[in-house]
Structure 1
């Protein structure tokens, strides 16, 4: 069922695109595994050995990872593919 000015199936396409974007983002964030860095690639501070043991492929210290997670959460709430029609409701 089409709604507003949207063509048939457009709403489901938006939902599918949003889910696909989230899956792609999660896959990009997965650690490649193997040996991680000994120093943070953002600030250069040493990464504790225990963190490197627990998170294979770690690249950020705790503080930088927290900042990256917060930035991701702030941007994750927006459906950037939504049409103007759906935003007006």
Structure 2
């Protein structure tokens, strides 16, 4: 049951929209194209198994881990489960 000016199901629509946006953002960050043989950050050799497992890979495991840490620290999502985290 929605209150105020919101229609019934408005909260669920906002949740669905937030999830769709997150999926689109994650898909846009997937590597594309041909995998590199050397990391574009540190020039370390990228193992063949990694290149086959992740088509379009551009970073070695160490550099990718560091990038993931930086991106998770800057994440704009409220993971505490508060009501406001579901609203835009």
Q: TM-score, normalised by structure 2?
A: 0.63
* Structure 1: runs of 5 or more not aligned: 80-85
Q: CA RMSD in A?
A: 2.6
**1:22-61 mapped onto 2 (5 Å cutoff):** 22-32=22-32, 35-61=34-60
Deviation at 1:32, TM superposition (A): 2.5
Runs of 4+ in 1 over 6 A off after TM superposition: none
Work out the number of aligned pairs and report it: 79
Runs of 5+ consecutive residues of structure 2 not aligned to the other structure = none
Partner of 2:64: 65
Aligned to 2:14: 14
